[in-house]
Amino acid sequence: MVEQALPLPKQKHKSRFSAAPAWSGFVAHRWFILTVLVLLGLGAWQGVRVLLGPAVVVDRVARGRLIESVVASGHVETPYRVEIGSQITGTVEDVLVQEGEKVVKGQPLIALESRESKAAVVQAQGAVAQAEARIRQLEELTLPSAMEALTQAQATLLNAQQTYDRTAQLERNGYATRAALDDAQKTLEVARAVKRAAEFQVYTASPGGSDYVMAQTQLNQARANLDTAESRLGYATIAAPRDGVLITRSVERGTVVQAGKALLVLAPSGELQLVLQIDERNLGKIALGQKALASADAYPDQRFTATVTYINPGVDISRATVEVKLTVAEPPDYLRQDMTVSVDIEVAAKDNAEVLSVRSVHDILSGQPWVLTIKNGRAVKRLVKLGLRGNSQMEILEGLEPGDIAIPQSSGVLTGQRLRPVLP
């Protein structure tokens, strides 16, 4: 029994040594075997790809809000510009501002030599003072003297009248001669004449009288001459007519300027305009009052609102464009005259529209736009009808339903080709 139990370990040891050659063979040819396995995997994958087609990222028709806008570029412009010039001929004594400087209404901009104008003002002031003195002379001296003389003349006339009355009574009673009565008559007439002369003096020296009117006229003329002289002196200082920014300066010290010649150009503060050139194909979409979002090319991340306020009735035949102006009611501080801007004008909007990415629509500008969709694993062509057109999406009116798939043009897929759709 002991001799029968001894061979068992020998058989086990023999089995272990029989597997060694197989493992050694695998190790020796491992790279060849791995290469074969990889090639078999690639072949299987390529076969599946051939049978099912390549994987392509596709777009899906969905419902959402779509905004159609017209995009254009233009420049910033004030609604109008103010040309500032001199109203008199003179020599520039000093220029008080620089080009690009902000100014306020009434701020001095240019100073002209004004010695002659100042002398004319002094002379006119003297004439006014003289005319005012004449008025005061009438009021303070001539009129009181004339009134006093009138009072005396009235008293003299009263005395002469009483003397005449007594003499006439005595003459009737035989106590006075005819000659005495004639003397009393002459004295009475002289007193009456003196009274009339005194009354005339009072009237002429009073307001409304000839002397007073003449003096008042001279005063008015002197004051008018003074206003003229002061105005000419004021013309020697050219001031800003309103708030704004000086965008042009064409004058220096010592320049002899002529009346009416523009020396400075002012861009008034307040509303600004964006002047665009719109492709005439979009003319039917543009209307007054439409809202827009704009941004300056120098500040692309900062956007501001504008409103369409002007559409040129004519078309630029050389460029096939139409000039459109938008008003910016509250312009940002960084906007500058003639700055380049980009504008999106909202021309239409629709909620719950069937939208599809623009990249999947072929022949958009033709009369028969179409898309590539998938049927039975193959790309098929399908005509569609388009509605609103946004910057990156378009409305599908007919041809596709929400959830349908469309293949982007950039995928390179041809009609009839097999493919596997992959949603982004």
> Would 53-79+271-424 and 82-113+236-267 be classified into the same CATH topology?
no
pLDDT in tens, 335-383: 888 899 999 998 888 888 899 998 889 988 878 899 989 888 888 998 9
Q: Quick check: 349 and 301 in contact, CB under 8 A?
A: no
Determine the pLDDT at residue 5: 41
pLDDT in tens, 161-220: 998 888 888 888 887 788 888 888 898 899 899 889 888 888 888 888 888 889 899 999
Does the domain at residues 82-113+236-267 carry the CATH identifier 2.40.50.100?
yes
Q: Which residues of the chain have pLDDT under 70?
A: 1-32, 36, 41-53
Cα–Cα–Cα angle for 277, 282, 285, rounded to 5 degrees? 115
Strand partners, 310: 325
Query: Which residues are within 8 A (CB) of 98 and not within 5 positions of it... i.e. 6 or more apart?
Result: 246, 249
Helix axis angle, 7-28 to 30-52, nearest 10°: 60
Determine the pLDDT at residue 139: 86
What's the pTM? 0.53
Domain boundaries, the chain: 53-79+271-424, 82-113+236-267, 116-234
Strand partners, 188: none
Tell me the DSSP string of 114-127.
-HHHHHHHHHHHHH
- Six-digit token string for 12: 């086990």
Instruction: Give the closest residue to 68 by CA, choosing from 326, 278, 345, 303.
Output: 345
Which CATH superfamily includes the segment(s) 53-79+271-424?
Answer: Efflux pump adaptor protein, beta barrel domain (2.40.30.170)
Determine the pLDDT at residue 108: 93
Q: Quick check: 303 and 293 in contact, CB under 8 A?
A: yes
Determine the pLDDT at residue 52: 54
Determine the pLDDT at residue 1: 33
Buried b (16+ CB within 10 A) or exposed e, 113-142: ebeebeebbeebbebbeebeebeeebeeeb
